[in-house]
Amino acid sequence: MKYRIIHELPDRLRINLMIPKGSSINMDGINGIKGVVSASFNNKTGNLLIRHNGDGVVQKEVIGAIENAPLSLCLKKAIDLPERVRSQSGKGSASTPLENEFLTGSTLTRKKKSVIAAGARLIVSPLFPLPIRTAIALYGAAPFFKKGIKALLNRSLNIDVLDATAIGAAMGIGDYRTAGIISLLLKAGDYLEEWTKDKSRKMLTHAFQIGDEYVWLKNNGSEYMAKTSELKEGDIVVVRTGSRIPVDGVVIDGEAMVNQSSMTGEPLPVLKRAGLTVYAGTAVEEGVVVIKSQKVGSETTVSKIVSIIEGAGHLKADIQNHAERLADRLVPYTFLLSGLTYFITGNPAKAASVLLVDYSCAIRLSTPLSIMAGMINSAKRGAVIKGGKFIERLSKTNVFVLDKTGTLTEASPSVIDVIAFNGYAKDYVLRHAACVEEHFPHPVATAIVKKAKDEGLIHEEDHSKVEYIAAHGIASYLNGKRILVGSRHFIIEDEGIDDSCCKEIISMAASGGHSILYVAIDDKLAGLIVIEDPLRQEASEFIKRLKDYGVNKIVMLTGDADAAARNVAERLGITEYYSQILPDKKTEIVKWLKNSGNVVAMVGDGINDSAALAHAHVGISMKHGADIAKEACDILLLDGSLMSLIEAKNISKKAMDTIKQNFKYIVGINSSLIFLGIAGLSTPAFSAFMHNASTVLSALNSLILASHKDAALKKKRCKPR
């Protein structure tokens, strides 16, 4: 069997199998190889992923098994594989010429050859006597008859039945030339559809090209060349001017201007130097950087984007499902109209012209292409949308619910003051707060740990197991004393810690609009940690853009005190906000907004946002957010820029507009062809040609969306410091 190795890592192998689209393979032979941990196959992409024990012999055995396996023995279900090939499975027979065609060429090549052969038969058939012309016409029509009969046996009245009936009608009146022309045009349309799909796949590949085949690695001061497929986590990679970065990692040496347009849509290159993160698929335009690999192969951000887009077919938009169902329901009426045409006119040619026009092909091709093109364009601009239905929902969203910390404010807040009470020292409060907070993945926790480090405070791991209490704080035991770190609601109200001794100081600290974290030790208030949480640079512009796009309600949620929440809301022009709320309250607000007839998007980044994200029509998470939030979300903002979300909303609306536009064109053109056929102004051949032409044109119109740009949308990004 023909194959192509995509990634080859020490314990993992990803291979693309060159088999008919939609086929599945028999995994028993591969899973039976000793040392193979797991094997999975994606019949949409043709990719086979094998995880093994790291033994090179196992990898060779897997590749050998694939190389030596004839196609007919590997396929469990080959939709496009002719019966005479499948009937030989298991008999040990040599590969047939038709099977070799699958082995040596792609589906696109096979369909191209089919069109050329049909054209050649049409040209030479008039040179032969009638019996041979009949045989040639039957041979050319056989694939369509087979599909039509198969559909009828499956009790499906679809486009395959329409095509077979139209060709059969032409042959029934002895018009073999028209039957040949129809067969040629249908095959040409089939080829052009496959060409369009192939173009979309190539567009996806080019949009997120990961890197060159070979890379330069550095080890013990010397450089050597290696295959990209051999990269592993921790490798030191050197990338120079003109080369693509092959890994996600951190720059440890050098400086370079990096073009990140494939990831963020930024038109200008950005400066990358030591300490900054770079991503696979981006390109070095000028300079040299030395990168420590953190993610390689299928684990890189760009590879995951491609996987999301490739696998998003099961999350169809409602408009797509509706259009497909409508197109299928119209097929019986096409038959009815054709029958009435023949009954009224007695002209089989007019009846055949009606049969050759349908709405299903164009809708089924152009609609998913519009969705995929929108997803590609959005991902290139920094927002990964995980399915067609979320594109549709985002285009309709009229309410945005925004978490404050890490979403409207910077993901890197800072500690500006530590206030100690009841005999505790500032250093003691900060040291032990950092000791427990370092177990909690949140920007505020990171700020506390960083402050302790900057102050030179070493915190020993002398506490017991840390308990995280959602949206409240953290609890643990320190040398037998209970330590609590969290919100006022948690410390003062829930835990009943007395703050009467320092209410005035607390009030003064909170009045500045800063976030306050309370620390209690042994049932006493030990101190406050004052957090400065600056607004994102683009937050104000983001809110303005949302309003410009017709979002009629913007709600801010936060667990912070009212003073901090009010300060942010007033600065951003947000009139509705809720402070000091728990995760269940966030979820209740989202549900209430949904039940009020709104289409709700929720943007958040923390563990306490995950439930609300899951309940919103569209859940949106920042890249720096907690893993559970990123998993629960429907849209992930790769670069953390809120303006990426604005662009995603604009692209989503454009995708829906394109689908509706295509639908109007498809219905209009094909309905006109039906009436022309009934009136006798269109021949069956002309109807077939125009129908296929409209299908391909609608598909190409969908692909244009992948390069859609809006000059009005300009991101404001922070330059690296």
Q: How confident is the model over 4-53, as pLDDT tens digits?
A: 776 666 677 778 777 765 555 666 667 778 788 877 776 656 778 787 87
- Known catalytic membership, residue 584: no
- 712 domain-assigned: no
Of the candidates 223, 240, 228, 226, the one whose C-alpha atom is nearest the C-alpha of residue 283 is: 240
- 170 domain-assigned: no
Domain boundary residue among 591, 616, 640? 640
Q: What is the pLDDT of residue 155?
A: 82
**Which of 109-123, 390-404, 422-436, 454-468 is least confident?**
454-468
pLDDT band at 98, cuts 50/70/90?
A: very low
Q: Backbone phi, then psi, for 622, in 5-degree steps?
A: -85, 155
With a CB cutoff of 8 Å and minimum separation 6, the contacts of 695 are 189, 192, 193, 361, 362, 365, 366, 666
pLDDT greater at residue 517 or residue 563: 517
- Contact (Cβ atoms closer than 8 angstroms) between residue 553 and residue 402: no
Of the candidates 44, 387, 19, 385, the one whose C-alpha atom is nearest the C-alpha of residue 197 is: 44
With a CB cutoff of 8 Å and minimum separation 6, the contacts of 655 are 370, 371, 373, 374, 391, 395, 705
Same structural domain, 420 and 528: yes
Same structural domain, 422 and 521: yes
Same structural domain, 503 and 422: yes
CATH number of 598's domain = 3.40.50.1000
CA 272 to CA 280: how far, in whole Å?
A: 14
Same structural domain, 439 and 516: yes
CA 252 to CA 254: how far, in whole Å?
A: 7
- CA separation (Å) from 389 to 174, 312, 399, 451? 48, 9, 17, 43
| pLDDT average, residue stretch 378-390 | 82
Burial of 206 (0-12, 13-18, 19+ CB in 10 A): exposed
Full 3-state SS string of 626-682: CHHHHHHCCEEECCCCHHHHHHHHHHHHHHHHHHHHHHHHHHHHHHHHHHHHHCCCC
Domain boundary residue among 299, 329, 357? 299
The interaxial angle of helices 159-172 and 684-703, nearest 10 deg, is: 150
Tokens representing 248 are 């996600």
Is the pLDDT at 629 greater than 80? The verdict is: no
Range of the domain at 49: 3-80
Is the pLDDT at 671 greater than 90? The verdict is: no
pLDDT greater at residue 204 or residue 502: 502
- 330 domain-assigned: no
Same structural domain, 585 and 442: no
| pLDDT average, residue stretch 229-251 | 87
CATH number of 514's domain = 3.40.1110.10
- The owner of tokens 């993945």 is 441
Q: Is 610 left (phi over 0), alpha (psi -120 to 50) or beta?
A: alpha
Q: What is the pLDDT of residue 336?
A: 85
Q: What is the pLDDT of residue 21?
A: 53
Is the pLDDT at 712 greater than 50? The verdict is: no
Mean pLDDT, all residues of the chain: 77
Is the dihedral angle over the CA atoms 308, 312, 318, 324 positive or is it negative?
Answer: positive
Is the pLDDT at 273 greater than 50? The verdict is: yes
Most confident of 155-159, 621-625, 698-702: 698-702
The model's pTM is 0.61
Q: What is the pLDDT of residue 400?
A: 94
- Contact (Cβ atoms closer than 8 angstroms) between residue 632 and residue 614: yes
Same structural domain, 232 and 294: yes
Domain boundary residue among 80, 105, 125? 80
CA angle 251, 257, 261 (to 5 degrees): 100
Q: What is the pLDDT of residue 89?
A: 35
Is the pLDDT at 508 greater than 70? The verdict is: yes
Q: What is the pLDDT of residue 106?
A: 58
Same structural domain, 508 and 553: no
Q: What is the pLDDT of residue 33?
A: 81
- The owner of tokens 């957090």 is 531
Of the candidates 17, 27, 4, the one whose C-alpha atom is nearest the C-alpha of residue 229 is: 4
Is the pLDDT at 304 greater than 80? The verdict is: no
| Percent of the chain residues topping a pLDDT of 90 | 9
Strands across the sheet containing 473-478: 414-420, 524-532, 515-521, 481-486, 473-478, 467-469
Same structural domain, 545 and 404: yes
- 189 domain-assigned: no
Tokens representing 133 are 């012309």
Q: Backbone phi, then psi, for 217, in 5-degree steps?
A: -110, 155
CA angle 385, 386, 389 (to 5 degrees): 90
Number of separate domains in the chain: 4
- 272 domain-assigned: yes
CA 353 to CA 680: how far, in whole Å?
A: 9
Q: What is the pLDDT of residue 236?
A: 92
- The owner of tokens 């024990």 is 53
**Which of 353-362, 584-593, 622-631, 646-655 is least confident?**
622-631
- 107 domain-assigned: no
CA 350 to CA 317: how far, in whole Å?
A: 37
Same structural domain, 462 and 508: yes
Q: What is the pLDDT of residue 470?
A: 55
Q: What is the pLDDT of residue 462?
A: 57
pLDDT band at 74, cuts 50/70/90?
A: very low
**Which of 283-297, 342-356, 473-487 is least confident?**
342-356
502 CA to centre of own chain: 51
Is the pLDDT at 408 greater than 90? The verdict is: no
Of the candidates 587, 588, 593, the one whose C-alpha atom is nearest the C-alpha of residue 610 is: 587
Altogether, the residues listed in the chain come to a count of 721
441-480 as b/e, with b when 16 or more CB fall inside 10 Å? bbbbbbbbbebbeeeebebeeebeebebeebbbbbbbeee
- 359 domain-assigned: no
**Long-range CB pairs of 501-504, under 8 A, 24+ apart, other chains included:** 501/421, 501/422, 501/525, 502/419, 502/421
pLDDT band at 299, cuts 50/70/90?
A: confident
Same structural domain, 282 and 218: yes
Annotated catalytic residue within 163, 358, 403, 560: 403
Q: What is the pLDDT of residue 398?
A: 92
- 477 domain-assigned: yes
With a CB cutoff of 8 Å and minimum separation 6, the contacts of 69 are 1, 29
- Contact (Cβ atoms closer than 8 angstroms) between residue 332 and residue 340: no
CATH number of 229's domain = 2.70.150.10
Same structural domain, 255 and 283: yes
Q: Are strands 277-278 and 270-272 parallel, antiparallel or unpaired?
A: unpaired
Q: What is the pLDDT of residue 92?
A: 36
Same structural domain, 548 and 404: yes
Q: What is the pLDDT of residue 292?
A: 93
